[in-house]
Structure 1
Amino acid sequence: MRIVIAGGHGKIALRLERLLAARGDNPVGLIRNPDHADDVAAAGAEPVLIDLESATVTELTEKVMGADAVVFAAGAGPGSGAARKNTVDRGAARLLADAASLAGVRRYIMVSAIGVDDGPAPDAEPVWAAYVEAKRAADDDLRSRSLETDWTILRPGRLTDASGSGKVRLSEKTGRAEVSRDNVAAVIVGLLDEPATIGKVLELVDGETPIGAAVAAVAE
């Protein structure tokens, strides 16, 4: 499969690219910084340069044409302000959905965040509140596209760089906890392989169930 990954140099994206390349898929990592191309190529993916904050939908459509699926794993990242939470975590996610639709790519995996439907706490720090609102808006937009998009929304808990255990808790509601980026990437691969997860919003934290079994369980 040809899988286009927005945020191709991110920590989850690089792990995902390695997993996909190792099993013979053709991952494509969308990056805005040309200095990241070597890292993406080393992960086994094709680096493609495009800035999702300034690209037109036509430009992005050209990049996703011929893909079997797209994965949104981009984010404004720590240290960015509220404005970039909106332009990346919300705006770029919507742009990818528009481009995928124009390119005829139905499968879309969204990497969101746990608990965003609840909105930010009343006393939340402003940038964090902007992040939560941007993620919620992006998820809502994707869910509104069911006639054109075979979406799955994955909401990991607090991300860690611990080695992946290969065991998780994956369900509509898991409760807040940590999850390794290794496990997130491996679950995304599982979701790509399981069409019965289309239309599901799933929370993910580290747990005791092997990833294959966890994906199979939510697909029932």
Structure 2
Amino acid sequence: MTTLVIGANGQIGKQFCALAKEAGTPIKAMIRNEEQATWFQERGIRTVVGDLEGEMEHAFEGCDQVVFTAGSGPHTGPDKTLLIDLFGAIRAADIASQKGLSRYIMVSAMRAEKPLEAPEKMRPYMAAKFAADAHLRHSDVSHVIVKPGRLTDEAPTLKFASSVDEAGDNQISRANVAYALLRVVQTPGLVNRDITLLDGKRPVDALL
């Protein structure tokens, strides 16, 4: 079962790809251009060039499921949030549905369903995530929506919580998110679930 990784060149995407390669989990990393290929080629990770704002349907060929961990990033405006985090995610879900993929694994955000409660600068991003998640839930492809809290660059602990009350905080390391994504990818029977991810004390399989 080959997994297409959209957003492979991002911070979570790279860590997920490295973990998947080490675990022997087949993946195909979608990158925006050949200039991004070196890091993946050095690790023996297969790549395909595709564009969330352009042509990407070909990238899905030969894949059974997709992980969407792309994002417009903190240094872009609401225009890119609309095109990448919203419309790009929706287009990917539609293609996955059309091609009969088994699952679409979305990296969303905790509390995306309440965008007006987010800090003002984060509201367009949260609204985009809310709408993209809703579209995915009503699509024909099975889904898992992973909802991490505030992201950090701390080292992986491989221990998790599913609520702020349990965790005592609202954060999670990108490394822990990448590890959790790998376990989701490796658990094909997990479908139509929303999973909140925070740093905690439980093994990830206890959440899944």
TM-score scaled to structure 2, two decimals? 0.92
Residue equivalent to 1:98: 94
Q: Number of residues paired by the alignment?
A: 207
CA distance in 2, matches of 1:170, 1:66: 33
Residue equivalent to 1:13: 13
Deviation at 1:129, TM superposition (A): 1.6
SS at match of 2:156: coil
CA distance in 2, matches of 1:171, 1:123: 19
Deviation at 1:10, TM superposition (A): 0.5
Deviation at 1:173, TM superposition (A): 8.6
Kindly provide the amino acid, as one letter, of the partner of residue 34 in structure 1. Answer: E
Kindly provide the amino acid, as one letter, of the partner of residue 87 in structure 1. Answer: L
CA distance in 2, matches of 1:151, 1:212: 18
SS at match of 1:13: helix
- Per-residue CA shift, 1:126-155, capped at 9, x if unaligned? xx221111111100100111xx21100000
Change (3 A) 1:196 1:101: same
CA distance in 2, matches of 1:131, 1:161: 20
Aligned residues of 1:113 and 1:155 also touching (Cα < 8 A): yes
Overall identity of the aligned pairs, in %:
32
Deviation at 1:43, TM superposition (A): 4.2
SS at match of 1:186: helix
The root-mean-square deviation of aligned C-alpha atoms, in Å, is 2.0
Residue equivalent to 1:163: 155
34-43 or 158-167: bigger deviation:
34-43
Are 1:199 and 2:192 counterparts? yes
- Per-residue CA shift, 1:12-45, capped at 9, x if unaligned? 1111111111121221111113221111223442
Kindly provide the amino acid, as one letter, of the partner of residue 54 in structure 2. Answer: S
Change (3 A) 1:205 1:172: closer
Change (3 A) 1:3 1:172: farther
Change (3 A) 1:168 1:44: farther
- Per-residue CA shift, 1:81-124, capped at 9, x if unaligned? 00100100011111111111222212110000111101223871
Aligned residues of 1:172 and 1:201 also touching (Cα < 8 A): no
185-194 or 5-14: bigger deviation:
185-194
Change (3 A) 1:182 1:103: same
Residue equivalent to 2:146: 154
Change (3 A) 1:162 1:18: same
114-123 or 46-55: bigger deviation:
114-123
